Amino acid sequence: MVQGRRDAALMALAGGLWTGICWLLAQLAYPHLPPKVPVHFNLYWQPDGWASKGVLLWLMPLTVAIVWAVIGAVTSLATVQERRLLWQVQWWIGMFMVAVQGSLLLTALGWLHSPRPILMPALGLLLVAIGRLCPQLPQNRFVGVRVPWTLKDEVVWRQVHQVAGLWLTALGVGFVTVAVLPLPVWTDAVLMLSLLAIFVALCSYAVRLYRRRSAQTP
C-alpha cells in the first residue's frame, strides 16, 4: 500500500514536471508569436492547419496532462513490476511531448521552417528507447506486443519482443538519420508507414511461431 502511494506520488510529480515544462516554454514564446500559428502539417511538412497563438499555450500542456492521467489510471491497476515498465515508458513519452511543444513553438517563431528537424529525431530516440526496452519485457497486462499468441505462450512472447527490439531500434535510427542527411521528404512517409508494417509483421511472426510450437507439442 505504501509503495503504491509512493509510486502514485512520483508519477503525479513527473506528470506535473512535463506539463509545467510545456507550459513554461509556451509562456516564454507567447509574447513573440504571430497572431496565427501553424498547428498541423502535411506529408511535405508544409503547414495546412492554423490556429490562434493562444492555442499553443494550452494544447500540449493539456495533452500531456491527459496522457499522464490515463497512464496514471492504468498504473494504479498494475503490479510493482508492471509499474516499473510503465515508469520508463512514461519518462520517454514526457520528453517526446516536450520536443513536440518545442518544435511547434520554434516553427511558429520562424526559427524553423517546420517541426521536422526536432520531431523526427525525437521520434527516432523514442523508438530506440522502446526498442531497447522490448527484449527486457516479461509478459504483462499493459506494455508490449500484446496479441493472443504472445499472451498464451511465454516463449513466443520472448522471441517476438527480441525481434521487435531490433526492428524498432533500427527504425529509430532511420528516423534520426533522415533528419540529419539531405534525403527526400518522401522518406519520412516511408518510415511512418514502416511503423504499421512492423506491427503487422510482428503479429504475423507471432502467429507462425505459435502454430509451429503448438504443432511440436505432443
Place 7 in a pLDDT band, splitting at 50, 70 and 90.
Answer: low
User: Would you call 77 exposed, middle or buried from its count of C-beta atoms within 10 A (0-12, 13-18, 19+)?
Assistant: exposed
pLDDT at 25: 95
What are 35-77's pLDDT values in tens digits? 999 999 998 899 999 999 999 889 889 998 898 888 777 777 7
What are 90-116's pLDDT values in tens digits? 888 889 999 999 999 999 999 999 999
Question: Is residue 8 predicted with pLDDT exceeding 70?
Answer: no
Q: Please state whether 37 falls in left (phi above 0), alpha (psi between -120 and 50) or beta.
A: beta
Alpha carbon distances (Å) from 33 to 8, 18, 38, 54, 60: 36, 22, 11, 9, 16
Owner of C-alpha cell 507462425: 208
What are 149-203's pLDDT values in tens digits? 999 999 999 999 999 999 999 999 999 999 888 888 889 999 999 999 999 999 9
pLDDT at 4: 58
